[in-house]
Amino acid sequence: MNRTLIDLNRTNWKSQLETVSIKYHKIGAWCGFAFNLIFSISDYFIMPEYWLQFFIIRSIVSAIILASIFGQRAALVKHEIMIATAVLLISVENAYLYSVMDVEMFQQHTFAYIALFIGCGMLVLWERIYSIVIVVANIVSGIILFPIFSPLTIDQVMANGGMLTISVSIFTIFLINTRYNLTVKEIKARLALSESNEHLNIQKELVEERNKEIRDSITYAKRIQDAMLPSAAILTENLHDSFVLYKPKDIVAGDFYWLEKIGDVVLFAAADCTGHGVPGAMVSVVCIEALNRSVREFGLRDPGEILTKTRELVVATFEQSEEKVMDGMDIALISLNRIRQQVKYAGAYNPLFQIKLLDDEVLEKSAKNETHYLHEVKADKQPVSKYMDTKPFTTHTIKIASGDMLIIASDGYQDQFGGPKGKKFRVKIMKELLLEISDKDLSEQNQLLDKAFEDWRGDEEQVDDICVIGVRI
């Protein structure tokens, strides 16, 4: 057993945790002190009329944080209290700053607020009660300050980032608590494994428990993602005779389906974000928020205009990062007006399949005894993301008749490997399948599509998320 392991065995796990925690908490406190003052520079350019007031508030908060740092050095303040003071003061400070902002400023600063909670998740190591107290204090501050100072209604606050901020702050409680528990277990495991080779089984158990906790966290994230998708009741109410085949590759997905009802118009979409699993799900949150803003905030109804504005919002969000982020989504978006029997479509790589009944004259000339044909409306060959040669998305107006089928999908279905030779399913086979089952009721079509996919996949791993939406006019 080497000297490092001997030293670890002689050290209590709590002192090990203390050492790690102090390191991260000092970094966090100093970051809070410095960046809180640095943000005064952006205040000066973005909100000059409030700059002096904001600067005074930020200076007071940073001074208290600095005092707690030196208090911790002198052993007058615990390191947990030092970092909790910094997070709590900046959180309450931001609640006030946000309460005097208009909609545009609120939107621009939302991700700065979210960064506070994400930063906590990466730096702090404390028990759950600290996180709960800070999140509750943050929410209470908003409840008290916004009615007094804010020109915004609660609907405006929620629609322009408030709901996203609250969701991230609550999820951070679970993230910090999971990280704290994992760190404690990791330290204990490291000490235990150094004592004897007989304890190797402990590592296996801890890894399994760790994976379970991570899976539990991801499962909780799935609940949040599911809450952002239209419910079955909403789909049935607005699309009537329809189906959605939704098969995430992992617990959470980069694919999503979206619906918004405005008057007589129903907007619905099938989207495929960059990646899958947790990274894809995080991109989907940004893309869903951008779609919602394009329709609700900017009042757009034309599919092409919606996608163009959504791309602008997605790019603006990711450009706030110092990293070069090219993430976004492919999407098929439909505007359906049943009263006017009018359909409009715009797409980023993902086409629209329209299945129509052949008229009597064509039926008489058909040698194959076919009753339906499939018309594909091509999508624009550009994504909803940062792209070298961007142009406005094209809106296609589609002629429809009673009995027509409209199908939109991500590319996960046709890209699945399987079959007798382990090849891709391909778009051609998918079109043939859609035509073959087009006269079935929608629930049966859903089942047949799912069965055909699983039969083709066999023992192969699912390669991507799947989202297929079918609507009968």
Domain-by-domain residue ranges, the chain? 3-224, 230-472
Residue 108: what pLDDT?
66
Calculate helix-pair angle for 277-292, 200-228, nearest 10 degrees: 20
**String of DSSP letters for 300-341:** --SHHHHHHHHHHHHHHHHTTSSS-----EEEEEEEEETTTT
CB 46 within 8 A of CB 98: no
Residues paired with 262 in a beta bridge: 265
Contacts of range 66-72, beta carbons closer than 8 Å, 24 or more positions apart: 66/33, 68/29, 69/26, 69/29, 69/30, 69/33, 72/26, 72/29
Residue 365: what pLDDT?
44
Residue 160: what pLDDT?
67
HSE, CB side, 13 Å, CA atoms: give it for residue 176.
27
Alpha carbons 256 and 58: distance in angstroms, whole number: 40
Element (H, E) at 407: strand 405-409
Q: Of the candidates 124, 16, 254, 416, which has an alpha carbon nearest to the alpha carbon of residue 7? A: 16
Q: Is the overall model pTM greater than 0.75, yes or no?
A: no
Q: Of the candidates 117, 119, 116, 114, which has an alpha carbon nearest to the alpha carbon of residue 160? A: 114
Q: How far is CA 2 from each of CA 7, 11, 186, 191, 194, rounded to the nearest angstrom?
A: 9, 15, 19, 13, 9
Q: DSSP assignment, residue 441? A: -
CB 403 within 8 A of CB 333: no
CATH domain 230-472 topology: Phosphatase 2c; domain 1 (3.60.40)
Query: Helices (DSSP H) in 74-199: which residue ranges?
Result: 79-99, 103-123, 128-149, 154-157, 163-193
Residue ranges in the chain modelled with pLDDT below 70: 1-11, 103-104, 106-109, 111-113, 115-117, 120-121, 157, 159-162, 193-200, 276, 321-323, 325, 359-370
94, with CB counted inside 10 A (0-12, 13-18, 19+), is buried
Residue 1: what pLDDT?
43
Q: Of the candidates 427, 424, 406, which has an alpha carbon nearest to the alpha carbon of residue 416? A: 424
Residue 364: what pLDDT?
46
Alpha carbons 253 and 273: distance in angstroms, whole number: 9
Residue 87: what pLDDT?
84
Q: Of the candidates 447, 267, 455, 432, which has an alpha carbon nearest to the alpha carbon of residue 355? A: 432
Express each pLDDT in 359-381 by its tens digit: 654 444 444 446 788 999 999 99
Alpha carbons 218 and 369: distance in angstroms, whole number: 50
Express each pLDDT in 92-130 by its tens digit: 887 787 777 776 676 666 766 676 667 766 778 888 888
Residue 321: what pLDDT?
65
Contacts of range 225-233, beta carbons closer than 8 Å, 24 or more positions apart: 225/252, 225/253, 225/256, 225/281, 225/284, 225/285, 228/256, 228/284, 228/285, 228/288, 229/256, 229/257, 229/258, 230/257, 230/258, 230/259, 230/268
Q: Which two tokens stand for residue 184?
A: 């404690």
Q: How far is CA 387 from each of CA 280, 303, 391, rounded to the nearest angstrom?
A: 18, 19, 9
Residue 466: what pLDDT?
93
Alpha carbons 199 and 193: distance in angstroms, whole number: 6
Residue 349 backbone phi and psi in degrees, to 5: 70, -30
Residue 462: what pLDDT?
92
Residue 19: what pLDDT?
84
Calculate helix-pair angle for 103-123, 79-99, nearest 10 degrees: 170
Q: DSSP assignment, residue 221? A: H
Residue 367: what pLDDT?
41
| Intra-chain end-to-end CA distance of the chain, in Å | 74
